[in-house]
Amino acid sequence: MTPATMKIERHRTRQVRVRSVPVGGGAPISVQTMTKTDTRDAAATIEQIRGVSMLGCDIVRVAVPDAAAVEALGVIRRETDVPLVADIHFDHRLAVAAVEAGADGLRINPGNIGGVRKVGEVVAAARERRVPIRIGVNSGSLEEDLREKHGGSTPAALVESALRNVRLVEDMGYRELKVSAKATDVARTVQTYRLLAAATDCPLHLGVTEAGTFMAGTVRSSAALGILLAEGIGDTIRISLTDTPGREVGVGLELLRAFGLRAPGPRVIACPTCGRVQVDVRGLADALERELAAVAAEYPGRPMPVVAVMGCVVNGPGEAREADIAVAGGKGSFALYVGGRRVGSHSEDAVLEVVTRKVKDWMAESGTGRDVAGS
């Protein structure tokens, strides 16, 4: 079964490249995260980067607060091919050094870098290696003159700050730019990016800043970014959660897939359960999502089946006809369907392994004309 997708007309922007990943200009919307390790611990940071890379993350940002972090960045760069963005605040020398250490992109807020001359030194370093710069404006770090002018961190204030800093860099003859202007709530985020999209052709990095814990942050980010993505706004995204980078990436990928803006990956449909259920639907669905993520990493780029986990016979058989592979629960067991046909029944203990094997069979055989059912 191929999920229906929305027809979205993308906002036109110019394109930059973060190492191998194009951003803007109609390129696929990329997913970013930021490591939560101390960058100076190169081994731990590399491990975290490899983990999110396996999940499908396109770009990883690392904090660079001091010279020791710059030194570690060089080590990290040599150990991964994932595009790395150095996050710099206050000290322009760290941005220059990060470029020399191999950073593929910079995230700066020119307002706290220290004036035009110091921004110019950062731009000169970036120009030499054609490293793109993201102008990152947040509601919590808005310049004081704009806060007073607009009466707070309003959408108009955030946009004026972003465009002021974009012009500063463009006036230096450098146009390898991305821009973000993030607020902490849905309404301001949507209003800000709508204004920004109308005012610049820079690629736009979407996000809700300090979105919150997993549930609240996922809801706020999905609400704001969902509206913007449906309107064609956005070239790269980060879901900012008080949680692991892996969860940020997972939410970001699933959000893009929901709009047909990312190639389909593991898709598990599961019923919400009710008093009729006599099997552990939630446990099986959670375990299948983990297993299928590993299968997707094992077979990168391959189409994947839609898998349904249903708790009882009310909707189970119907959903089984819609899914490629499905199970419907009974008393301590699951009926297995492949291609809408019932092909067997398996105990709760065995069904995870059986379904995972069927998914691999489906991926190996789909399109060859062979029958992948069987029991």
Q: What is the CATH number of the domain that holds 234?
A: 3.20.20.20
In a domain, 76, yes or no: yes
For residue 32, the model assigns a pLDDT of: 97
Residues 98 and 171 in one domain: yes
Answer whether residue 349 shows pLDDT above 60: yes
Answer whether residue 10 shows pLDDT above 60: yes
User: pLDDT class for 277, splitting at 50, 70, 90?
Assistant: confident
Answer whether residue 231 shows pLDDT above 90: yes
- Greater confidence, 115 or 18? 18
The pLDDT of 23-41, averaged and rounded, is: 97
Residues 163 and 296 in one domain: no
For residue 85, the model assigns a pLDDT of: 98
> Which residue, among 28, 192, 16, has the nearest Cα to 105 in the 3D structure?
16
The mean pLDDT of the chain is 90
For residue 371, the model assigns a pLDDT of: 45
Residues 282 and 335 in one domain: yes
Answer whether residue 348 shows pLDDT above 70: yes
> Which residue, among 214, 253, 223, has the nearest Cα to 237 in the 3D structure?
253
In a domain, 375, yes or no: no
Model pLDDT for residues 149-191, shown as the tens digit of each residue? 999 999 999 999 999 999 999 999 999 999 999 999 999 999 9
Model pLDDT for residues 73-132, shown as the tens digit of each residue? 999 999 999 999 999 988 999 999 999 999 999 998 877 777 889 999 999 999 999 999
Model pLDDT for residues 297-309, shown as the tens digit of each residue? 777 777 889 999 9
User: What CA–CA distances, in Å, run from 236 to 210, 259, 290?
Assistant: 17, 14, 25
Q: Residue with structure tokens 């006599």?
A: 278
User: pLDDT class for 139, splitting at 50, 70, 90?
Assistant: confident
Residues 94 and 186 in one domain: yes
Residues 84 and 114 in one domain: yes
SS3 24: coil
For residue 130, the model assigns a pLDDT of: 96
Residues 66 and 172 in one domain: yes
In a domain, 182, yes or no: yes
Residues 296 and 349 in one domain: yes
For residue 143, the model assigns a pLDDT of: 87
Q: Which of 231, 258, 285 is the endpoint of a domain?
A: 258
What gap in Å lies between CA 153 and CA 160, rounded to an integer? 11
Residues 61 and 179 in one domain: yes
Q: Any idea what the CATH number is for the domain that residue 342 is in?
A: 3.30.413.10
Answer whether residue 373 shows pLDDT above 90: no
Answer whether residue 1 shows pLDDT above 70: no
Strand partners, 137: 181
Instruction: Indicate the range of 43-52, 181-190, 287-296, 298-307 predicted with least confidence.
Output: 298-307
User: pLDDT class for 369, splitting at 50, 70, 90?
Assistant: very low
In a domain, 372, yes or no: no
User: pLDDT class for 318, splitting at 50, 70, 90?
Assistant: confident
In a domain, 135, yes or no: yes
What gap in Å lies between CA 172 and CA 174, rounded to an integer? 6
Q: Which of 237, 258, 279 is the endpoint of a domain?
A: 258
Residues 253 and 338 in one domain: no
Q: Pick from 64-68, 107-111, 211-215 the range whose average pLDDT is largest.
A: 64-68
In a domain, 325, yes or no: yes
What is the pTM for the complete model shown? 0.88
For residue 4, the model assigns a pLDDT of: 58
Residues 332 and 277 in one domain: yes
Question: Quick one: how far is CA 228 from the chain centroid?
Answer: 15
Residues 108 and 129 in one domain: yes
Q: Which of 239, 258, 277 is the endpoint of a domain?
A: 258
Q: Which range marks the domain in which residue 356 is found?
A: 267-365
In a domain, 6, yes or no: no
Answer whether residue 320 shows pLDDT above 80: no
Residues 254 and 282 in one domain: no
In a domain, 3, yes or no: no
Total domains, the chain: 2
What gap in Å lies between CA 355 and CA 337, rounded to an integer? 10
